[in-house]
C-alpha cells in the first residue's frame, strides 16, 4: 500500500511539474519579441503592423521617411497601439498607421515595453524590446499608388503547415516586382493556438516577405476549425473589420470572399458552434451592394478570390454557387481564383452556372499574374519553377 501511494505521488508530482514548468520558464524568460512584425490591410494612406511578445506590454511604432538619413538622425514620431483612449496591454500588438502619403516608402521600427503590474494608478514597467536598426536596415513598406496603371500579384493556398513547400513556392516570386500576395485559405489545418498560427506558416511568411510586402488573406474552411479560430481576425485584420471586402489595385478590383466551412452547420465536426449558412447569406447581401461601387464598376478587371470553388458538390461549394455566383455573373466578374481541391483545374465558363472561368490552384503551385488596362496574364508555376499553364484574359472579352 505504501509503495502504491509513493508511486501515485510521483505520478502526481510529474504531472504537476509538467503543467507548472512551462509557466515558470515563461516567467523567468527575458522579455522579448516572439514573432516579428508583419503588414496587414495596407492601402493608399494606412497600414496595420502586428507582432507578438512573450509577456504583456504596451507597444508602438516609430516611423521615418525613406530619405537616406540614419533612422536615428533625429527623434522619430511614435504611434501607439491604442483602444478607446488606452494604450493596449497585450502580447499581440496591432498598430494602425493612418494619414500616410500614397505611393510613398516609409521605414519603421517596432517597440514593446513590458508591463509588470498595474495597481490602481501605479504601473510598473519592465524592459523594452525592439526590432534592430543598428546592424541592419530598418524594415520598410510602400503605400499603394492610386495612379498605378499596372499590377502584379501572386497567390498560394492549402499549405496546411508545410513550411518547406511554402518556402519553395514563395521562392518563385520576385518580390521586388510583385505588388501583393494572397493567401487563399487553409494555410494551417486548424487553429488551436497562437503558436500554431506562426509555426504553421506566418513565421515563414514574415521571414520571406510579410514584414515589408503586403499580404491579404481569404479565409479557408480549415481556418474555421479549433478553439483559436474565433481569433483569426485579430491576427489578420482588415480595414473594414470584415473578412470579405473589395480591394482595388491598379486595373483590378479584387473581390475577396469568405466561403466559410464546407459541411452543413449541423455537422458533428463543429459541435453546434458555427452559423456559416447565415454568414454567407449576409455576405451575399453585402456583395450585391459592393459591386455597384465605382472601384468595382470602373475596374478593367474584376477578380474574385474565394477559397472554395462553386462546384464539387459539398455543402459549402453549393452555397458559393447558389449565393455568390448569380451576383458575380450579373456584375461581370472576369475570373475566380480558388483552392480547396488540392489540384490544378482550369474550369471554363458554364452558361448554366458560373459565366466566368474558375482557376483552382493546387497546393503545390503558385499563381503569378500581371495586368494592365487591357490584358490580365496568369502563370501557374510549380515548386520547381516549371510553368504548368499560361492564361491571358482580355478586358474586352465577353462574359
Q: Domains of the chain, with CATH numbers?
A: 33-142 (2.60.40.10), 151-394 (3.60.21.10)
The stretch 331-355 carries a mean pLDDT of 96
d(CA 269, CA 344): 27
Look at the block and give the residue holding cell 492610386.
146
Asked whether residue 254 carries a pLDDT value surpassing 70, the answer given is yes
Residue of 74, 82, 138, 72 whose CA lies nearest to 110: 138
Between vectors from CA 78 to CA 238 and to CA 248, what angle results, nearest 5°?
25
Name the band, by pLDDT with cuts 50, 70 and 90, for residue 271. Answer: confident
How is residue 230 written as a grid cell? 474565433
d(CA 276, CA 342): 22
State the sign of the Cα–Cα–Cα–Cα dihedral 268, 161, 35, 40.
negative
How is residue 213 written as a grid cell? 510586402
Between vectors from CA 186 to CA 318 and to CA 337, what angle results, nearest 5°?
60
Alpha helix stretches (DSSP H) within the chain? 2-28, 163-170, 194-197, 203-205, 232-235, 276-290, 294-297, 315-319, 325-330
How is residue 154 written as a grid cell? 501572386
d(CA 41, CA 47): 6
Name the band, by pLDDT with cuts 50, 70 and 90, for residue 1. Answer: low
The stretch 332-343 carries a mean pLDDT of 97
Residue 208 has φ and ψ, to the nearest 5°, of -80, -45
Buried b / exposed e across 44-59, counting CB within 10 Å, b at 16+?
Answer: eeebbbbbbbbbbbbb
Region of 277 on the Ramachandran plot (φ > 0 left; ψ -120 to 50 alpha; else beta): alpha
Asked whether residue 154 carries a pLDDT value surpassing 80, the answer given is yes
pLDDT at residue 272, as a whole number: 85
Name the band, by pLDDT with cuts 50, 70 and 90, for residue 287. Answer: very high
pLDDT at residue 18, as a whole number: 55
Tell me how many helices (H) and strands (E) the chain has. Answer: 9, 21
Q: Three-state SS for 338?
A: strand
d(CA 34, CA 21): 19
Asked whether residue 13 carries a pLDDT value surpassing 90, the answer given is no
d(CA 88, CA 77): 18
pLDDT at residue 121, as a whole number: 86
d(CA 385, CA 365): 9
Residue 9, number of CB atoms within 10 A of its CB:
10
Is the separation of the CB atoms in 304 and 335 below 8 Å? yes
The predicted-structure confidence for 346-380, as pLDDT tens digits, reads as follows 999 999 999 999 999 999 999 999 999 999 999 99
Q: Three-state SS for 262?
A: coil
The alpha carbon of 310 is separated from its chain's Cα centroid by a whole number of angstroms, namely 22
Is the separation of the CB atoms in 166 and 202 below 8 Å? no
Range from 37-41, 194-198, 270-274, 385-389 carrying the lowest mean pLDDT = 270-274
The stretch 16-44 carries a mean pLDDT of 78
Amino acid at each position: 500500500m505504501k509503495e502504491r501511494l509513493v508511486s501515485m505521488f510521483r505520478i502526481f508530482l510529474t504531472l504537476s511539474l509538467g503543467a507548472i514548468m512551462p509557466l515558470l520558464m515563461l516567467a523567468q524568460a527575458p522579455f522579448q519579441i516572439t514573432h516579428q512584425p508583419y503588414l496587414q490591410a495596407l492601402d493608399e494612406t494606412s497600414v496595420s503592423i502586428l507582432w507578438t511578445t512573450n509577456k504583456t506590454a504596451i507597444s508602438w511604432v516609430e516611423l521615418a521617411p525613406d530619405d537616406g538619413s540614419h533612422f536615428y538622425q533625429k527623434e522619430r514620431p511614435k504611434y501607439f497601439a491604442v483602444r478607446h483612449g488606452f494604450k493596449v496591454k497585450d502580447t499581440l500588438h496591432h498598430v494602425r498607421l493612418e494619414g500616410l502619403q500614397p505611393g510613398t516608402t516609409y521605414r519603421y521600427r517596432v517597440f514593446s515595453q513590458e508591463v509588470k503590474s498595474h495597481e490602481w494608478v501605479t504601473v510598473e514597467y519592465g524592459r523594452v524590446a525592439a526590432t534592430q536598426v543598428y546592424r541592419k536596415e530598418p524594415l520598410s513598406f510602400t503605400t499603394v499608388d492610386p495612379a498605378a496603371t499596372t499590377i502584379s500579384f501572386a497567390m498560394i493556398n492549402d499549405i496546411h503547415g508545410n513550411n518547406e513547400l511554402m518556402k519553395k513556392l514563395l521562392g518563385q516570386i520576385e518580390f521586388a516586382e510583385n505588388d501583393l500576395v494572397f493567401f487563399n485559405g487553409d494555410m494551417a489545418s486548424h487553429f488551436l493556438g497562437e503558436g500554431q498560427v506562426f509555426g504553421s506558416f506566418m513565421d515563414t511568411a514574415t521571414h520571406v516577405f510579410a514584414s515589408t510586402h503586403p499580404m491579404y488573406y481569404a479565409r479557408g474552411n480549415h481556418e474555421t476549425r479549433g478553439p483559436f479560430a474565433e481569433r483569426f481576425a485579430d491576427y489578420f485584420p482588415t480595414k473594414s473589420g470584415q473578412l470579405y471586402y473589395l480591394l482595388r489595385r491598379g486595373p483590378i478590383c479584387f473581390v475577396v470572399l469568405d466561403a466559410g466551412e464546407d459541411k452543413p452547420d449541423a455537422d458533428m465536426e463543429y459541435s453546434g458552434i458555427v452559423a456559416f449558412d447565415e454568414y454567407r447569406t449576409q455576405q451575399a447581401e453585402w456583395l450585391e451592394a459592393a459591386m455597384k461601387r465605382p472601384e468595382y464598376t470602373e475596374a478593367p478587371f474584376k477578380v474574385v478570390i474565394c477559397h472554395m470553388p462553386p462546384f464539387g458538390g459539398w455543402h459549402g461549394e453549393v452555397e458559393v454557387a447558389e449565393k455568390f455566383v448569380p451576383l458575380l455573373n450579373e456584375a461581370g466578374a472576369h475570373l475566380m481564383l480558388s483552392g480547396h481541391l488540392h489540384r490544378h483545374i482550369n474550369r471554363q465558363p458554364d452558361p448554366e452556372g458560373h459565366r466566368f472561368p474558375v482557376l483552382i490552384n493546387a497546393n503545390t503551385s503558385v499563381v503569378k499574374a500581371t495586368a494592365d488596362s487591357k490584358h490580365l496574364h496568369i502563370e501557374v508555376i510549380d515548386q520547381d519553377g516549371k510553368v504548368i499553364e499560361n492564361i491571358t484574359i482580355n478586358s474586352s472579352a465577353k462574359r
